[in-house]
Amino acid sequence: MIYQVYPRSFADANGDGTGDLEGVRSRLPYLAELGVDALWFTPWYRSPQADGGYDVADYRAIDPAFGTLADAERLIADAAALGIRTIVDIVPNHVSAEHPWFVEALAAEPGDPARDRFWFRDGLGESGEIAPTAWTSSFSGPTWTRTAGPDGTPGQWYLHLFASEQPDLNWNHPEVMAEHEAVLRFWYDRGAAGVRIDSASMLAKDPELPELAEHHEPGTHPHLDRDEVHDVYRRWRKIADSYPEPRVLIGEVWLPETERFVRYLRDDEMHMAFNFDFMTAPWACEAIRSSITTTFEAHRGVDAPPTWVLSNHDITRPVTRYGREDTSFDFAAKRFGVPTDLALGRRRARAAALLTAALPGVLYIYQGDELGLPEVEDLPEGARQDPMHHRSGGTDPGRDGCRVPLPWTRTGPNHGFSGTAAEPWLPQPADWGSHAVEAQQGDPASTLSLYREALRLRRTEAALRGTDFAWRESEPGVLAFRRGEDLTCVVNFGDAPVDLPDHAAVLIGSAEIQGDRLPGEAAAWLRT
Ligand code: NOJ
């Protein structure tokens, strides 16, 4: 199981209201007890934090808010001593506008080679006042920002598929390629077991930067999933494989077509990629069944394990998402004020935890999901930081609501996040203490206890360690599958109880099981 740490919000050792690496190190026993095999850290590098660290100013330095390089080295070593590996986040599509390359490029004249590491272009129109293309940013708004000279005279435009503080790199430039390879080695040499690759399908661009057409043949879109992007990962795979203990490449690849997705998982490319098809699927029996089936079919042709992901630092927390009328996830559909039944969402999120932990492949858990944290939807406007919110003109709630600092203690300052009275960087809701680790750990009915027990069984049950999987017949609204010889997972998507299939014992249930009936919105693992 790979556990995702959002360092800013995990634990704050120096008491300044921002999580840090020493905070994570102090909580390694908690992570070991949960049964973590590896930690994936969202970017911890020096960054102005215009996009939660996905705007990197220096890949070889830790952001002072999080600690030092020595802290990172100690954390990697201490985690390894507990059998926990470390995965760092690599952000190759763009850098921070404060990265020395971009600072140099901005200071240079149009046509200067310093600008070639990015996408600088003259504007259209009589005086260059129109952006070179009408593309839309992943964070809404334009993908181009116009530069100005020291005297304020408007100049060229530069491309940013995300926020304007995140200029896109030109991957046709040999120095861009070389620098990232050096950064990979830098972290591998410091003991990182792998990298999570941000926006992995967006690096390659058509150098002509043409306007978008109605339809693009696969591999020819101007800035998404171009065929030549695979050359980058083939080179990276060679570097990963050159280590005595080969390092792992994990892709953030958002693509609707399975056929295009699995190309990133060919033998000489990445080891795995996040399963966003599953993560965005609605909590509905046939949709989930179909996503699982598609996942298996897609991975059949490649030597990469399927992955199971319920959320991450970009996604509405499952407890909230599954409590809504529309339980699917779509960035474009996020709005304020969507009614949510949190009790229902929690029942479903607990069932989803058992479902994903029972599937063969690699399981990812985002920090706080093991506590059943809901999305914090009522953050004060002034506290919101996410460019997705601000660039949408305030219509998109953004992603701050799943990034609120974790509650460790029932009471006390910051619910134990800092242990000091410092204001956390995002405010915690008044009832946050009821979700705290302290409040849940002694309670066998808590979500934390459910996760701990499910993850323990996932490690100890032979049936769950293998890859054997078969659907079992079940009534409408119920999913059932067999793992190995003797384990069955049953998920009831309906609201009424259903009969469990014959079994010798119930190993674990997401809700209390009375007799041989599985309650509605619940899952169970059976010894069969
Ligand atoms: C994907 C990351 O998960 C997200 O948080 C970030 O904003 C974008 N890539 C841009 O780096």
For residues 108 and 44, membership in a common domain is answered with no
Distance separating alpha carbons of residues 100 and 96, to the nearest angstrom: 9
Give the mean model confidence (pLDDT) for residues 376-405.
97
Strand segments, DSSP code E, in 368-504 are: 469-471, 478-483, 487-492, 498-499
Say if residues 416 and 30 touch (Cβ distance below 8 Å).
Answer: no
**Local structure of residue 383 (DSSP, 8 states):** G
* Ligand 1 centroid, distance to 125 Cα (angstroms): 32
Task: Note the pTM of the prediction, 2 decimals.
Answer: 0.98
Number of structural domains (the chain) is 3
Confidence (pLDDT) at 520: 98
Q: Which residues line ligand 1 (CB under 6 A)?
A: 51-52, 54, 91, 162, 198-199, 252, 313-314
Residue 314 CA, ligand 1 centroid: distance in Å: 7
pLDDT grade for 342, boundaries at 50, 70 and 90 = very high
Q: Give me ligand 1 centre to Cα 9, in Å.
A: 16
SS3 of 300, please?
Answer: helix
Residue 90's CB is within 10 A of a number of other CB atoms, namely 25
DSSP state of 478: E
* pLDDT greater than 90 at residue 147: yes
Regarding whether 353 and 480 lie in a shared domain, the answer is no
Same domain membership, residue 193 and residue 76: yes
Q: Phi and psi at residue 356, in whole multiples of 5°?
A: -65, -35
Q: Which atom of ligand 1 approaches the CA of 312 most closely?
A: 3
Whether the predicted pLDDT of 57 surpasses 90:
yes
Computed over every residue of the chain, the mean pLDDT equals: 97
For ligand 1, atom 3, the nearest C-alpha belongs to 314
190-216 pLDDT, tens digit per residue, is: 999 999 999 999 999 999 999 999 999
Largest separation between any pair of C-alpha atoms in the chain: 79
Is the domain of 201 the same as that of 183? Answer: yes
Ligand 1 centre to CA of 55 (Å) is 9
Amino acid 85: pLDDT: 98
Structure tokens at 102: 């971009």
- What is the average per-residue pLDDT within 430-457? 98
Q: With pLDDT > 90 as the criterion, what percentage of the chain qualifies?
A: 98
What are the helix (H) ranges across 301-419?
318-321, 342-358, 387-391
The answer as to whether 56 is a domain residue is yes
Residue nearest to atom 4 of ligand 1 (CA): 314
Between 514 and 86, whose confidence is greater?
Answer: 86
* Tokens, residue 120: 């600088």
Domain of 241 in residue numbering reads as: 2-95+174-440
The answer to whether the beta carbons of residues 235 and 181 sit under 8 Å apart is yes
Residues 273-287: what's their mean pLDDT? 98
Instruction: Please report whether residue 450 resides in a domain.
Output: no
Query: Phi and psi dihedrals of 302, rounded to 5?
Result: -125, 165
Residue 477 DSSP symbol: T
Task: Give the chain's radius of gyration (CA, Å).
Answer: 23
Looking at residue 326, which CATH number applies to its domain? 3.20.20.80
Residues 484 and 357 in one domain: no
pLDDT tens profile 394-427: 999 999 999 999 999 999 999 999 988 899 999 9
Output b/e per residue, 19-28; b: 16+ Cβ within 10 A.
Answer: bbbbbbbebb
If one residue of 51, 196, 402 were mutated to test the ligand 1 pocket, choosing by the most ligand atoms within 8 A of its CB, it would be 51
pLDDT confidence band for 271 (50 / 70 / 90): very high
Distance of alpha carbon 185 from alpha carbon 3, whole angstroms: 23
Residues 83, 106: one domain? no
Q: Where are the alpha helices (DSSP H) in 314-341?
A: 318-321
Q: What is the mean pLDDT of residues 244-268?
A: 96
Contacts of residue 16, defined as CB under 8 A and 6 or more positions apart, other chains included, come to 65, 418, 420, 422
* pLDDT in the model for residue 192: 98
The pLDDT of residue 421 is 85
Quickly state the pLDDT bin for 514 (edges 50, 70, 90): confident
* CA nearest ligand 1 atom 6, residue: 54
Name the residue at shortest CA distance from atom 5 of ligand 1. 314
CA of 113 to the centre of ligand 1 (A): 28
Q: Which atom of ligand 1 is nearest to the CA of 91?
A: 11
pLDDT over threshold 90, residue 150: no
Does 226 share its domain with 139?
Answer: no
pLDDT of 288 reads 98
CATH number at residue 113: 3.90.400.10
pLDDT in tens, 453-464: 999 999 999 999
* Residue 101 pLDDT exceeds 90: yes
Report the chain's terminal Cα–Cα distance, integer Å.
Answer: 25
pLDDT one-digit tens code per residue, 284-318? 999 999 999 999 999 998 999 999 999 999 999 99
- Rounded Cα distance between 509 and 523, Å, is 6
CA distance 100 to 519: 58
Interior CA angle at 468 toward 466 and 469, to 5°?
130
Q: Which of 56, 162, 279 to mutate to test the pocket of ligand 1 (most atoms within 8 A of CB)?
A: 162
Ligand 1 centroid to 320 CA: how many Å? 21
Domain match, 287 and 179 both: yes
| Separation CA 77–CA 345 (nearest Å) | 38
Instruction: Give me the pLDDT at residue 384, please.
Output: 98
* Residue nearest atom 10 of ligand 1, based on CA coordinates: 54
Q: How far apart are CA 429 and CA 447, in angstroms?
A: 19
Residue 451 lies in a domain: no
